[in-house]
Structure 1
């Protein structure tokens, strides 16, 4: 999939554990792992907004486009 999710970097910069981030966002650590590992097929805008609020960042800090990777998994 040409959209990559970079959720690993921001929590590390904020010294925040995966469990703490999941709790702040309102999702399970397992669902957060699905996002982190790039296995998610979609992300709700509400979840993206909650991630940005918890991490004090913008959506572009968490998502990036990788041109040329046209595989759908």
Structure 2
């Protein structure tokens, strides 16, 4: 799995998860349950991960949606 986006914006994370799943790209949203520790104040960002063989397609889809600035470049 490769991290492609990291964000504290829950709306963005939900949108990207939906976008990728609708394109049949498997998605794992990591750190989703950290909100129990942080009290929903947005301290810990959520990470969107996709399988290695879907990274290029996922990155292209996110960029085409106008959210290329959200992509990780690690």
Higher strand share: 2
Higher relative contact order (CA 8 A, sep 6+): 1
TM-score interval (norm. to shorter): 0.3 to 0.5
Q: TM-score, normalised to structure 2's length?
A: 0.40
